[in-house]
């Protein structure tokens, strides 16, 4: 039996069927895909298997669902007409998978496949399904191939015998018109598509759509919403040819009709025992495949039209501490992804062949002993070096054929701190807090630029690398721009990595000087943690700017920055106590000295003049990336559950709405059939939604969190009203 299992479903029709257990709900499961072939074999179980299931049920389930399956105080009935109606005429695979992943609530997945199959056999018996001679398999793939349970018709539940259902209304299925995504489309996406994490290879987070603009944004209304699996969610959807793909907590991917919100297919992954789900930030699409990172450190290629698995490749071992939380980048047929975690030896960036899933190359973010940069770790052996998590998807320069990745810091700062005052010892710790320019064909490192050497504060440079045109020495050059948590933005030449310049927004107290030729940063030695005293450092470790990406309007040369204005104390921990960093400190949050209590800061910076054009400040910390559109709008979300639109030229607030929960990703916009939409995912769990809540105790968000997808549009005005509006 394989450890990992996947399941896909076809189109959702008519009835959505709900099976709930204890504290959760089973997702709706649509009919089998059109074109299913031979009739499935009958579902069966043995009486002996059900008897064993009774013992497991009494031990593990009866306290919630009751001794008789329908008389529990804490769980829904698991027998009777309501249960059968909810279950319907569906495969038993979803119920088995849900039970084996979520139950018992205190130790989900702990019983083993055989015992979960025994419980399911007992449920079938108690719902009057007759036993047979063959045991029920403890494998969702095998269960999916069997016929649905033969529920008795009782109490008016379910469809009447021999009843005929009238055909559903005809509708256009956008999957049927889905075109393959080419290299040219990724380089220059169709205006209405959002094909990459930040829409384009250059990571601008900008859209040429202008149907929603300054003049009509006040009419923005909900077009549709969709409840996502509950849990933290920092995913940015992608959209192609009217189909929206979104990742959710629990390793589920759903394809939606982007105009209507109808479910087209769903992919769900069963994780190995001992591996918990983690957030994901981005997906990639290329050809007719969707490239999905998983919580067990794999990349899965899904057929975009069906959600079926084409290939599945392991990147790293999650039991060693590796995760894949950022997302994939595809360029020139290479699917690239970075890992996160604190595993000995550090993280990796891996490229897979988009067609086969075969590994093409592997780059170690932590420089190896004996390799270039390997002597920059204070002499530590490889197994004592860790960090360099790649938290977000990379960006790409197709002109120079370079992919840019952003490894972060290490939490094991103690061994590096101990070398600071030792002459002749190098402790820059490459390639932490660096921009890595990698050839996507070969994995060769073309150049690197380290933004912060020996970072002792976890104020890392782990965010988007934007590829843009700026004047350099009197001529227009392609440069790479990125900013770290302390809101210092560095500019490097894209082809060579040569340092160009920096912009300090003036909201940090750590860096005292920047070398104008090399970009090397000098830090205040009085703020070095680990000497037994408390250090007040600005900004907070969650960042003046965190992972939430900026957006860039190339025509106006304006960079739109979602910032939070707060600081931290690095407090010494007692001997033997584990701190946030191994130098012996933990961080706490505090307002900036003299703060007026406005922590959220949306700032427009002109990259040519290096001047701030406008700043809008508010009480609630910002929690999303920004989106800028050709309609002259900037969208951003905040901790008070607001999604807001601003005038990109002036910063004037033009529209806002309150969502069901905190948005923790980045808004996007797309078009279908000439209609422009704006979408955002909610689901708290990002650092910006948990680090700053103590600063704003009056902001009370739902105790029962919920993740959702919100899609907005400006409704078309009736023709008569349009005609009247033109009358003087």
For the chain, list the domains and their CATH numbers. 5-144 (1.10.760.10), 177-719 (2.140.10.10)
Alpha helices in 315-450 (DSSP H): 414-417
What pLDDT does 517 receive? 96
How far from the centroid of its chain's Cα atoms is residue 430's Cα? 27
Q: Model pTM?
A: 0.82
What pLDDT does 417 receive? 83
Q: In what order do the strands lie in the sheet with 642-647?
A: 206-207, 627-629, 633-637, 642-647, 653-658
Rounded Cα distance, 281 and 289, in Å: 18
What pLDDT does 391 receive? 95
Residues contacting residue 97 through CB under 8 Å, at least 6 positions apart? 5, 7, 140, 268, 270
What pLDDT does 578 receive? 82
Q: How many helices (H) and strands (E) does the chain have?
A: 10, 41
How far from the centroid of its chain's Cα atoms is residue 408's Cα? 17
Q: How far apart are the first and last CA of the chain?
A: 75
Enter the tokens of residue 676: 């422009």
How far from the centroid of its chain's Cα atoms is residue 136's Cα? 36
User: Which stretch of DSSP H or E encloses residue 448?
Assistant: strand 445-450
User: Which stretch of DSSP H or E encloses residue 18?
Assistant: none
* Integer CA distances (angstroms), 262 to 30, 243, 284, 339, 438, in order: 11, 10, 21, 33, 40
Query: Do 534 and 569 touch, CB atoms closer than 8 A?
Result: yes
Residues contacting residue 155 through CB under 8 Å, at least 6 positions apart? 80, 81
Listed residue (404, 406, 546) closest to 478, CA to CA: 404
- The low-confidence residues of the chain, meaning pLDDT below 50, are 1-37, 720-728
| Residue 119: strand, helix, or coil | helix
80: exposed, middle or buried (Cβ count in 10 Å: 0-12, 13-18, 19+): middle
What pLDDT does 294 receive? 96
Rounded Cα distance, 508 and 592, in Å: 10
Query: Do 408 and 345 touch, CB atoms closer than 8 A?
Result: no
Cα angle: 521, vertex 522, 524; to 5 degrees: 135
Query: Do 379 and 358 touch, CB atoms closer than 8 A?
Result: no
What pLDDT does 253 receive? 96
Enter the tokens of residue 606: 């002109």
What pLDDT does 5 receive? 43
Query: Do 167 and 629 touch, CB atoms closer than 8 A?
Result: no
Q: Which residues pair with residue 628 across a beta bridge?
A: 206, 634
What pLDDT does 33 receive? 42
Query: Do 27 and 268 touch, CB atoms closer than 8 A?
Result: yes
Listed residue (437, 446, 441) closest to 467, CA to CA: 437
What pLDDT does 159 receive? 66
What pLDDT does 727 receive? 40
What is the length of the chain? 728
What pLDDT does 153 receive? 57
Rounded Cα distance, 592 and 465, in Å: 28
| Residue 482: strand, helix, or coil | strand
């Amino acid at each position: 039996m394989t450890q990992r299992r996947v399941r896909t479903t076809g189109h959702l029709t008519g009835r959505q069927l709900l099976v709930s257990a204890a504290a959760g709900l089973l997702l709706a499961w649509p009919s089998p895909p059109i074109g299913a072939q031979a009739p499935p074999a009958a579902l069966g179980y043995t009486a002996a298997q059900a008897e064993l299931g009774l013992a497991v049920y009494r031990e593990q389930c009866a306290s919630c669902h009751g001794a008789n399956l329908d008389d529990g105080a804490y769980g829904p009935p698991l027998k009777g007409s309501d249960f059968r109606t909810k279950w319907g005429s569906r495969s038993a695979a979803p119920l088995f998978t849900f039970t084996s992943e979520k139950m018992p609530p205190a130790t989900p997945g702990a019983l083993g496949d055989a015992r979960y199959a025994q419980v399911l056999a007992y449920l079938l018996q108690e719902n009057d399904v007759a036993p047979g001679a063959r045991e029920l398999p403890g494998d969702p793939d095998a269960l999916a191939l069997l016929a649905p349970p033969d529920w008795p018709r009782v109490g008016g539940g379910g469809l009447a015998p021999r009843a005929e259902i009238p055909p559903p209304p005809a509708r256009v299925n956008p999957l049927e018109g889905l075109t393959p995504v080419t290299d040219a489309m990724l380089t220059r996406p169709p205006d209405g598509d959002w094909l990459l994490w930040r829409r384009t290879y250059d990571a601008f987070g900008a859209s040429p759509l202008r149907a929603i603009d300054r003049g009509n944004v006040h009419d923005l209304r909900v077009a549709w919403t969709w409840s996502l699996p509950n849990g933290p969610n920092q995913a940015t959807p992608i959209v192609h040819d009217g189909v929206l793909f979104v990742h959710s907590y629990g390793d589920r991917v759903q394809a939606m009709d982007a105009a209507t919100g109808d479910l087209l297919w769903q992919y769900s992954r069963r994780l190995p025992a001992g591996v918990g789900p983690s957030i994901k930030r981005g997906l990639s699409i290329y050809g007719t495949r969707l490239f999905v990172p998983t919580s067990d450190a794999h990349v899965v290629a899904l057929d975009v039209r069906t959600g079926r698995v084409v290939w599945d490749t392991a990147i790293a071992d999650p039991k060693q501490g590796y995760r894949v939380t950022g997302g994939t980048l595809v360029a020139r047929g290479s699917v690239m992804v970075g890992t996160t975690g604190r595993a000995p030896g550090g993280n990796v960036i891996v490229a897979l062949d988009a067609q086969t899933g075969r590994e093409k190359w592997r780059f170690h973010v932590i420089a190896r002993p004996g390799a270039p940069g390997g002597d920059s770790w204070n002499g530590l052996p490889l197994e004592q070096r860790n960090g360099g998590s790649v938290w977000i998807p990379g960006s790409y320069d197709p002109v120079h054929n370079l992919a840019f990745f952003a490894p972060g810091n290490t939490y094991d700062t103690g061994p590096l701190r101990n070398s600071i005052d030792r002459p002749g010892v190098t402790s820059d710790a490459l390639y932490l807090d660096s921009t890595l320019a990698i050839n996507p064909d070969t994995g060769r490192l073309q150049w690197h630029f380290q933004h912060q050497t020996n970072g002792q504060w976890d104020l890392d440079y782990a965010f988007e690398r934007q590829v843009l045109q700026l004047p350099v020495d009197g001529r227009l050059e392609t440069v790479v721009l990125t900013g770290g948590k302390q809101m210092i933005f560095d500019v490097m030449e894209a082809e060579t990595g040569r340092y160009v310049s920096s912009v300090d927004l003036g909201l940090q107290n750590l860096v005292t000087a920047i070398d104008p030729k090399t970009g090397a940063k000098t830090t205040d030695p009085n703020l070095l943690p680990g000497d037994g005293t408390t250090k007040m450092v600005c900004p907070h470790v969650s960042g003046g700017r965190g992972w939430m990406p900026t957006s860039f309007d190339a025509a106006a040369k304006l960079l739109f920055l979602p910032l939070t204005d707060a600081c931290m104390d690095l407090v010494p921990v007692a001997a033997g106590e584990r701190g946030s960093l191994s130098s012996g400190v933990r961080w706490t949050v505090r307002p900036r000295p003299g703060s007026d209590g406005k922590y959220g800061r949306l700032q427009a910076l002109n990259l040519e003049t290096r001047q701030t054009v406008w700043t809008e400040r508010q009480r609630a910390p910002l929690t999303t990336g920004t989106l800028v559109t050709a309609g002259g709008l900037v969208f951003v979300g905040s901790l008070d559950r607001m999604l807001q639109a601003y005038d990109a030229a002036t910063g004037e607030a033009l529209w806002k709405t309150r969502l069901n929960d905190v948005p923790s990703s980045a808004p996007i916009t797309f078009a279908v059939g000439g209609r422009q939409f704006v979408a955002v995912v909610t689901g708290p769990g990002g650092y910006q939604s948990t680090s700053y809540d103590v600063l704003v105790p009056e902001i009370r968000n739902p105790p029962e969190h919920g993740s959702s997808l919100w899609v907005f549009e400006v409704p078309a005005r009736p023709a008569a009203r349009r005609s009247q509006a033109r009358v003087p």
